[in-house]
């Protein structure tokens, strides 16, 4: 069972995973060793899956975000595994979701320009058959976060 301090620890770490444990402990009202033990427990429980560095996409020259809606007429496990394998091999695809509704899959890609997106598109259609692929270029990022809300933890 997680308490309010655990929630606050996770909230702070989602915003700055490099925060020194002593500073974090002060913020949540714990000793540094007690805070460290809680962090380790949160990692062992799987709530904190890993700590990563977030890269500025523009400085990495992949400032364009393209959302790609995919529709297929094939709904077999074999096709899904082929699709999963194909997108795993393409680093420009940073997120992929299987959906309900009119579209079967939604991909989020980061690329430097339309020419690179077109090359990725050609990689996809060379490997698999699709009924429809619709692309949407993000014009402005209004909100982006990797943090998830902590108010639903049990």
∠ Cα 123 126 128 (to 5°): 105
In a domain, 145, yes or no: no
pLDDT score for 112: 98
DSSP state of 56: -
| Cα gap 81→65, rounded to integer Å | 25
Q: Helix (H) and strand (E) counts for the chain?
A: 5, 4
Q: What is the CATH number of the domain that holds 37?
A: 1.10.10.10
Residue 152 lies in a domain: no
- What is the tally of structural domains in the chain? 2
Asked whether residue 9 falls in the same domain as residue 73, the answer is no
Q: Is residue 154 part of a domain?
A: no
* 133, 103: one domain: yes
User: Do 71 and 33 lie in a common domain?
Assistant: no
Q: What is the mean pLDDT of the chain?
A: 95
Distance CA 69, CA 136 (A): 8
Give residue 153's pLDDT.
84
Give percent of the chain above pLDDT 70: 100
Q: Alpha-carbon distance 25 to 118, whole Å?
A: 48
121 and 71 in a common domain: yes
Does residue 75 belong to any structural domain of this protein? yes
Q: Report the CATH number at residue 90.
A: 3.30.70.920
pLDDT by residue (tens digit) across 49-80? Answer: 999 999 999 999 999 999 999 999 988 999 99
Q: Residues 27, 73: one domain?
A: no
Chain segment 5-49, per-residue pLDDT in tens: 999 999 999 999 999 999 999 999 999 999 999 999 999 999 999
Q: Are 127 and 83 in contact (CB under 8 A)?
A: no
- Kindly state whether residue 94 falls inside one of the protein's structural domains: yes
In a domain, 116, yes or no: yes
Q: What is the pLDDT of residues 84-112, one digit of tens each?
A: 999 999 999 999 999 999 999 999 999 99
User: What's the per-residue H, E or C state across 59-108?
Assistant: CCCCCEEEEEEEECCCCCHHHHHHHHHHHHCCCCEEEEEECCCCCCEEEE
Range of the domain at 41: 4-45
Kindly state the tokens that stand for 32: 């540094």
* Beta carbons within 8 Å of 116's beta carbon, 6+ residues apart: 92
């Amino acid at each position: 069972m997680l308490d309010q301090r655990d929630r606050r620890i996770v909230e702070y770490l989602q915003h700055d995973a490099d925060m020194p444990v002593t500073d974090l402990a002060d913020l949540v009202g714990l000793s540094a060793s007690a805070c460290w033990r809680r962090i380790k427990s949160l990692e062992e429980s799987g709530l904190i899956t890993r700590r990563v560095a977030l890269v500025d996409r523009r400085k990495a020259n992949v400032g364009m975000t393209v959302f790609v809606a995919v529709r297929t007429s094939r709904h077999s496990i074999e096709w899904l595994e082929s699709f999963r394998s194909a997108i795993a091999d393409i680093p420009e695809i940073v997120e992929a979701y299987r959906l309900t509704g009119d579209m079967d899959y939604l991909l989020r890609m980061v690329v430097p320009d339309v020419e690179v997106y077109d090359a990725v598109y050609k990689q996809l259609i060379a490997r698999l058959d699709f009924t429809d692929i619709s692309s949407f270029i993000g014009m402005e990022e209004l909100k982006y976060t990797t943090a998830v809300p902590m108010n639903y933890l049990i």
